[in-house]
Structure 1
Amino acid sequence: MKNIFYNTKRRSLVLVCALALGGLGACDDSFLDVEPEGSGRASDFFNSQQDALEAVNSMYGNLREWNNIAFAWLAVSTITSDNAEKGSVPGDAGFLDDFDDFTVTSTEGQLNGFWVGQYQGINLTNQVLANVPDIEMDEQLKARLLAEAKFIRAYHYFNLVRVFGGVPIVSKLPETLEEANPPRATKEEVYNFIISDLQEAAAVLPVSYDAANVGRATKGAALGMLAKVQLYQENWQEVLNLTEQVMSMGYSLTPSYADIFTLSGENNIESIFEIQAMTIPGNCGASNSQWAEVQGVREQFGWGFVEPTEDLVNAFEEGDERMEATILFRGEVTPAGDKIKETVPNPRYNQKAYVPGSVTTECGYAKDQNIRILRFAEVLLMHAEAANELGMIEEALESVNRVRERAGLEPIASATQEELRNIIWHERRVELALENGDRFFDLVRQGRAGEVLRAQGKQFKDGVNEVMPIPQQQISLSEGVLTQNPGY
């Protein structure tokens, strides 16, 4: 059984200037039985080891929060890419078309929601980092919980810096008005902050957990995420070193690609970090995720957003087993026996978000689907990309071919550095499509977002649309301390 870390207690904190600060949440030892919701003051909390555990659990629960995994996240990361269009039906959530077309403005509500969701998560981690050190408790457990908080904080900042560029760095709970309303740091400063958090987390986090704690951040998760952060900065030797560390930690590719995205395939031998989600009777919204609901087949399993493009379909080579596991077509019968109606509005849906109709839930559409954030296959592709950029062609071919062969494809026998670079970029697209929101950010870091996206009819402007506008609501709350990105 997967483990769920979710919020059961809401405590009010202040919305200060430009930073949306969230409340503390908790769950009990079983992660399954939920206490009734109530209210309390933060000063009444952080007194015991159990309080520390509950505070850390709330960080994980917040990862599933609407702003962090639904419309806002899908808009900035996936609908902006060449992998997907808005989907659903015309007029339903029409504001998402602005992300698809790159006509989005700073007043668009999903941008503000995304900002709020990420900083709410950062506030939860800062609550832990500020208060847990003073609790009398098992010191080894304390160190681990603080490391988990640093990992989650780094994850939120990685999302923010890729979407907005430089953002305010809030490294502790604000004590003054100035600390509560910081200006934007540079992109480089944000990346350095992320690297520091991940390095400190990796030094403490365990390689694995017992069955009761599966789903928490591990050393492999911290090292793998650090490799990804270095990838975005083209620090190739660092990427190579970090991925080789992860490759020696016991992870391996799941034999069948399709099995990864089944409910039974969650937290498997390939998984490095997943956002946990499972419906808990009596707690709709507390433990499950609307990531799957939002993208489920409209009129059958969900709302029908994030429609895979024909361009993505055509990107898969003949015989690539990943296509069937990624795209759910109108009229097909799934391996679980569900017939997708011929009359559903869209020709294609995200199969990685599919939950079989046999999985019943009292919460409406099925929402029991973990969100895969980092897998071993991506580590191999990062290793291949770094090796190739360092001129280590044979090593790069070995790693990329492990991914290709699992997909049922012939290995690449030889390639020039430039040819292999394009092969690896292509493999990232088809391996990770519609999964963890990387495609748009990959195009930006590769320096070809404008070329690729304009070819799909998008109104992408070079020098502007590589990042999103800072939400106007946050600029207003900051009384002008926050500045807008160029071109918006």
Structure 2
Amino acid sequence: MRSLFFHIDASKIRCQSIKTTVLAILVSMFAGCTDLTETPYTFIDPGSYYKTEEQLNTALTGVYAGFRSFASNWALIYQLEIMTEHYSPGHTKQNSKALNAWQNVNQSTTYNFQIWDSGYDVINRANVILGRGEGIDMAEQTRAQIYAQVRFIRAYTMFTMLRIYGGLAIPESYTSGLDGLEIPRKTADETYDYIIQDLEYCIANLPTRSQWGSGAYYKASKGAAQALLGDVYLTRGCMNNNNTSDFQQAKKYLGEVIDSHEYELLPDYKDLWYWYVEEAAKNTKESLFECQFGTNANNELHLYFGVMDTQKSLGSKQYHRASVSHQAYFSYLPEDTRLSCMLTEYLTDAGEKRYWVPENHGFYGGVTGGWLTSGPGNVKFYDRTEAAYTSGCAKANFILIRYSDVLLNYAEVENYLNGPTSDAYEKLNEVHQRSLPTPVTSGLSKEDFDKAVYQERSWELLGEGQLYFDELRTNRLGKNVYEHVRKYFDLGYYLYDKLQFVPQQSFLWKIPQTSLDSNPALEQNPDNISDPNYPI
């Protein structure tokens, strides 16, 4: 079995021994192995593989694949959604209730390890290409474009991990053995600077979307790097007491995306989703970057945001771990076209109508409507084709950066800098009036305009793994979770537990204990303290 940079005799390694940060970096692509013995690793010089441009492009494909596994991991998206007021426990299985109630937040063995380990796998795959590519005889522009794609993926991965764990341990090179892997963590600011340097390189060396051409719209582009860098600066500014210089940089890069005219909102919100238009939903002019799925790469997000039923009308097999919360569903105005993504009824193969009844308060099974889960589904992840039903494989892409997100980020940062200007209103209303007939109320205060932008993001991006980060950086998360969970627990909604913890803006997840054990240079995050403003 060959990895991207070394060879391992897989029959001589025991899986349990590799579930640590360092060993995940080394062999994470073998995470599915079982019953392996514990003997020393053997390495083949990576120089024996990285000899040609073709081999470097093959390795680049591996980086994209590893990143897809990281960024669209159900455990990541599921946790990020259910720890907000936008999603609630959808079924009794898994740890939905504990996550929704914010239990055990200071235990290093509680939260899913796949996020940390999978992230470092992506970082190392990227570092291998950057470390080995210099020795290959190829055109410098081509090499720079490969490097820029790799650095974009590394930057996106690190930005996600930074917002979850804080400052990261940053390997200076790829790993080819077990020596020298005691890597201390950088500060959050040092990690931000590292990400920014990657994205500046990307902007200088990546083609635009139109320059890539239709056969390569899936690749990282200059516009995607500009949008991500704008998000990075916006987040750092919010986390740094609303730092004006960070906000100015955010506005600059977001504005460059808008002024490029490479992207536009689709006229109909439904055209973004495979459920409605199938393959035409992939890599549209509204999409800046998305995880690609096809026949041999199943998008499992539909499983965990599904409605716990297998019917031809629903396409591929579904489970259900998280449900659109009743609060989120009823926040939409009745005329909002985005409600079309909320699945509240369907026909079984036998022609029976099943429908969600809000008055059931999340109870399911044997109740009015025959609904099998606690709340609505979200069709953004669904593939309802007959082929999906037959194969069980969902081919819907997962969009990571959308043009609507760019417009809303721009409106938010413009408001931070200058108040609710006509420019800020214009960007907000582009998104708002795609789905609603009337514009946002004019004459809002700076504070109320900020609330309007956040509300729009909630309607626009529900279920896409972004709202947790939005709420954390704007210091909304604790208040919103507190009010939501207490209300629905007190009302007796099914699957709600009493809230155990209220996060502050400084909240960080614990680094997995196995990673601390294998890298003595790592320091654990301090225990989080529940927000004293919201007693539980």
Equivalent of 2:304 in 294, 303, 309: 294
Instruction: Tell me which residue corresponds to 1:32.
Output: none
Change (3 A) 1:232 1:22: same
The alignment status of 1:426 with 2:455, answered yes or no, reads: yes
Verify the 8 A CA contact 2:102 2:500 in the aligned structure 1: yes
Judging changes above 3 Å, is the alpha-carbon distance between structure 1 residues 75 and 477 closer, same or farther for their aligned structure 2 residues?
farther
Q: CA deviation at 1:82?
A: 1.1
Give the TM-score taking structure 2 as reference length: 0.78
Aligned counterpart, 1:158: 159
C-alpha distance 217-75 of structure 1, shift in aligned 2 (>3 A): same
What is the one-letter code of the residue matched to 1:229? V
Determine helix, strand or coil for the equivalent of 2:249: helix
Letter in 1 for 2:379: Q
Letter in 2 for 1:146: Y
Match of 1:367 in 2: 394
Higher mean C-alpha displacement, 313-322 vs 457-466: 457-466
- 1:385-424 paired onto structure 2 within 5 Å: 385-392=412-419, 393-412=421-440, 413-424=442-453
Q: Which residue of 2 aligns with 1:328?
A: 343
Alignment-derived partner of residue 273 in structure 2 = 261
Q: For the residues of structure 2 that align with 1:11 and 1:357, how far apart are their CA atoms? A: 40
Which ranges of structure 1 fall in alignment gaps of 5 or more residues? 1-6, 26-38, 281-286
User: What SS does structure 2 have at the residue aligned with 1:274?
Assistant: strand
TM superposition shift of 1:361: 6.3
- The answer as to whether partners of 1:253 and 1:377 remain within 8 angstroms in 2 is yes
**72-81 vs 306-315, which deviates more?**
72-81
What is the Cα deviation at residue 446 of structure 1? Answer: 0.7
Change (3 A) 1:338 1:254: farther
Shift in CA distance, 258/16, structure 1 to aligned 2, threshold 3 Å:
closer
The CA distance in 2 between the partners of 1:459 and 1:62, in whole Å, is: 35
Q: Could you tell me how far 1:447 is from its partner in structure 2?
A: 1.1
- 2:203 counterpart residue number: 202
Q: Which runs of 4+ in 1 moved over 6 A?
A: 7-10, 175-178
Q: TM-score, normalised by structure 1?
A: 0.86
CA contact (8 A) 1:355 1:369 kept: yes
Work out the CA distance in 2 between the residues paired with 1:139 and 1:357. Answer: 44
Deviates more, 1:338-347 or 1:111-120: 338-347
- CA shift for structure 1 position 64: 2.7
SS in 2 for 1:111: coil
Structure 1: distance between partners of 2:4 and 2:522: 33
Whether the 8 Å CA contact 1:276–1:371 is kept in 2: the answer is yes
Partner of 2:364: none
- From the superposition, tell whether residues 162 and 451 of structure 1 become closer, same or farther in structure 2 (CA, over 3 Å): same
Distance 2:528 2:227 in 1: 34
CA deviation string 1:366-421 (max 9, x = no partner): 31111110011011001101111111521100100010110123112331211111
409-418 vs 447-456, which moves further = 409-418
Contact 2:21 2:515 (8 Å CA) reproduced: yes
SS at match of 2:288: strand
* CA positional deviation for 1:9: 7.7
| Number of residues of Structure 1 aligned to a counterpart in Structure 2 | 453
- 3-state secondary structure, aligned to 1:248: helix
User: Bigger CA drift: 263-272 or 205-214?
Assistant: 205-214
Kindly report which structure 2 residues correspond to 1:68-147, keeping only aligned pairs within 5 A, or say none: 68-87=71-90, 89-90=91-92, 92-93=93-94, 95-104=95-104, 105-108=106-109, 110-147=111-148
Rounded to whole Å, the distance in 2 between the matches of 1:338 and 1:218 is 47
Gaps of 5+ in 2: 30-42, 238-245, 311-316, 356-368, 486-498, 530-536
- For 1:69, give the aligned amino acid: S
One-letter amino acid matched to 1:45: Y
**How far apart, in 2, do the equivalents of 1:152 and 1:291 lie?**
20
Q: Is the 8 A contact 2:481 2:502 kept in 1?
A: no
Aligned to 1:485: 526
Kept after mapping to 2: 8 A contact 1:449/1:466:
no
Q: Distance in 2 between matches of 1:452 and 1:204?
A: 41
Give the Cα separation in 2 of the matches to 1:127 and 1:462: 37
Question: Is residue 2:57 matched to residue 1:57?
Answer: no
Q: CA deviation at 1:68?
A: 4.3
Give the equivalent residue in structure 1 for 2:242: none
How far, CA to CA, are the matches of 1:175 and 1:10 in structure 2? 8
Q: CA deviation at 1:472?
A: 1.2
State the SS of the aligned residue for 1:272: strand
Deviation readout 1:212-233 (Å, 9 max, x if unpaired): 3221100000000001111101
- Would you say 1:218 and 2:230 are equivalent positions? no
SS in structure 1 of the partner of residue 438 of structure 2: coil
Contact 2:20–2:117 (CA under 8 A) maintained in structure 1: no
Contact 2:408 2:453 in 1 (8 A): yes
Shift of 1:179: 4.4
| Partner SS, residue 106 of structure 1 | coil
Which secondary structure state, in structure 2, belongs to the residue aligned with residue 192 of structure 1?
helix
8 A Cα contact 1:86 1:307, kept in partner: yes
- Alpha-carbon displacement from aligned partner over 1:281-339 (angstroms, at most 9, x marks no partner): xxxxxx232223332331223112221101111221231111222x211x2469xx997
Q: Distance in 1 between matches of 2:108 and 2:475?
A: 27
1:328 maps to amino acid: L
- The residue type paired with residue 130 of structure 1 is G
- Which residue of structure 1 lines up, in the alignment, with residue 33 of structure 2? none
Distance, in Å, in 1 between the alignment partners of 2:173 and 2:382 is 39
Deviation at 1:238, TM superposition (A): 1.1
- Note the C-alpha offset of 1:359: 3.5
Give me the whole-angstrom Cα distance separating, in 1, the residues matched to 2:271 and 2:305: 19
The answer for the alignment partner of 1:168 in structure 2 is 169
State the match for 1:21 in structure 2: 25
Q: Secondary structure at the match of 2:386?
A: coil
For 1:462 and 1:80, locate their aligned partners in 2 and report how far apart those are by CA, in whole Å: 10
| Distance 1:276-1:478 versus aligned 2 partners, 3 A rule | same
Aligned equivalent of 1:351, options 376, 379, 384 = 379
Q: Mark the CA change 1:54 to 1:109 in structure 2 (over 3 Å): closer, same or farther.
A: farther
How many angstroms apart in 2 are the aligned matches of 1:51 and 1:411? Answer: 52
Report the CA distance between 1:470 and its aligned residue. Answer: 1.4
Structure 1 residues 13-51: Cα deviation after superposition (integer angstroms, max 9, x where no partner) = 7969733215598xxxxxxxxxxxxx9874432111111
Question: Is the CA contact (8 Å cut-off) linking 1:453 and 1:460 kept in structure 2?
Answer: no
The alpha-carbon distance between structure 1 residues 338 and 257, as it changes in their structure 2 partners (threshold 3 A), is: farther
C-alpha change, 1:206 and 1:266, in structure 2 (3 Å) is: same
How far did residue 256 of structure 1 move?
0.3
Residue aligning to 2:313: none
| Structure showing greater Rg | 2
CA separation of 1:12 and 1:371: change in aligned 2, threshold 3 A: farther
Matched residue type, 1:240: K
Tell me how far 1:175 sits from its aligned partner: 7.2
SS in 1 for 2:89: strand
Structure 1 partner of 2:360: none
1:31 paired residue number: none
More helix by share: 2
The separation in 1 between residues aligned to 2:193 and 2:19, in whole angstroms, is 25
Equivalent residues of 1:59, 1:125 under 8 A apart? yes
Cα distance change of structure 1 residues 311 and 41 upon mapping to structure 2, 3 Å threshold: farther
Identity of aligned residues (%): 24
- Paired letter, 1:103: Q
1:270 and 2:286 matched = yes
Aligned to 1:47: 51
Q: Which residue pairs with 2:489 in the alignment?
A: none
